[in-house]
Amino acid sequence: MGAKRWIDLGVIRLQPSEPTKLAIVLMLARYFHQLKTEDFTRFYKILLPIIGVIIPILLIIKEPDLGTGVITIIIASIIFFAVGFRIRNFMIIGIIIVTCIPVIWQVMHDYQRKRVMVFLDPEKDPLGAGYNIIQSKIAIGSGGLWGKGLTKGSQSHLNFLPEHQTDFIFATFAEEFGFVGSLFLLILYSAIIVISLMIATNCRTIFSKLMVIGITSILFSHVFINIAMVMGLLPVVGVPLPFISYGGTMMVSMLIGFGLHIILASQSPARLELLKRIKVFPTQIIPANINETEYLRELPNQLATRLAQEKAKVVAQKITGEAIIIAADTVVARGRKILPKALTSEDVRYCLNILSGRRHRVYTGVCIIKKTSEQLLIRQKLVQTIVKFKKLTNQEIEFYCSIDEGINKAGGCMIHGYAEAFIPSIYGSYSNIMGLPLLETMHMLTSLGFKNNSM
């Protein structure tokens, strides 16, 4: 039919429209992450990403691959809706599309127009364009309540049902496992979608939230269109069923999408902000909630290392599936004496009196775990920075205690806040005293195979 959907690379054949959907999700998530929140509803600000979406969609339809083009439109629309794109703008675009239907109908291929006509009445061409959908309905209906059993479906295994391993695999599944099996499959898909949306609500950055929403929308649109298609509720289009249909490019794209999962095992806003500086955007925040009490005679560097490792391992046990877990713990010490995390202004005053006029060390232990289905890959690093405090007056100490900046901070002060005025010199990593040494963290991530958009 003149379709050119595949690129033959010799060893493998690639369908470029599949990774294009994931690329569009990444592009939109990155763009809206950098955009100011108040600009989300301004049409001229989102004109650029609209153009960036329209161009690949037109190329996909030109292949021709109408099904993937429609799915890409759905994915982009869901992302635009998630960032607050106004309903009236959707209506304007919808009106434009409706007015263009006569033009679209003219540029459609003959077989595409025939599919639309047969969708309205498959019996018009039962041995031609309507054959697939008629055989699909027969397969689904013949499965009954419990199905015929694995590999015992007559429609698929006697080759009455075309494309039974790809686009019409749900009909094959329904024939072999019946209504109960089909319902169970739909429940599994629904669970994945609901869990993904729950993860999206917990994401702390626009990038990670839109990434999760976009990848989930790919899954949803494929499941909805494929099942509606094989049941005769939509025209026949070449849309596979995720994780089940035979098709390497689709499977790889979905696995990559659901594998883009970075977890920060900390509730620290400072660490989250530091990760954003190196273009690492966690998709989820899962605090470890471990006991951080130091052991008897435990040295500061040992404490930071142990707590970071424990946090990472606890979070790794909580999650299922593949992920990269980043955990860190910062300890402030004067010699062997570990300063507490200040919970009250009295704790802040106690810490400042120890730090005043002296040098102290800030230790940050970082532990990164890459969890796969086969193993846990662990990278760990301890970084220390020497910080010199000036001699503080009682007035300076009391003022700092009154602003509550040091509450819930290791050592009772926030170096990258007002306390920066107390520090004449620092020896070592500045990001380390903020809670996460960026150089070492990026080196560990790179060694585990992570790449961000800036690399």
Instruction: Just list the catalytic residues.
Output: 329
- How many CB atoms sit inside 10 A of residue 174's CB? 27
- Structure tokens given for 426: 């620092």
Q: Which helix (H) or strand (E) holds 316?
A: helix 300-318
From the number of C-beta atoms within 10 Å of its C-beta (0-12, 13-18, 19+), residue 63 rates as middle
**Which has the closest alpha carbon to 211: 26, 383, 346, 394?**
26
Which residues 6+ apart lie within 8 Å of 121 measured at CB? 130
Query: Could you tell me if 303 and 381 are in contact, meaning their C-beta atoms sit under 8 angstroms apart?
Result: no
| Distance from C-alpha of 305 to C-alpha of 367, rounded to nearest angstrom | 8
**Beta-sheet pairing, 376-388 with 359-371:** antiparallel
Residues near 440 by Cβ (< 8 Å), separated by ≥ 6? 366, 381, 383, 429
Task: Output the six-digit token pair for 28.
Answer: 């939109």
Structure tokens given for 400: 């700092």
Gap between the Cα atoms of 79 and 319, Å rounded: 26
> In sequence order, which ranges of 161-241 are alpha helices (DSSP H)?
169-202, 206-230
Q: How far apart are CA 133 and CA 35, in angstroms?
A: 45
> Which amino acid is residue 347, in one-letter code?
D
Q: CA 55, CA 14: separation in Å to the nearest integer?
A: 20
Is the Cβ–Cβ distance between 328 and 271 less than 8 Å? yes
C-alpha 195/C-alpha 101 separation (Å) is 37
The DSSP bridge partners found for residue 388 are 359, 425
Q: What is the H or E stretch that residue 360 is in?
A: strand 359-371
* Alpha-helix residue ranges (DSSP H) falling in 231-264: 248-259
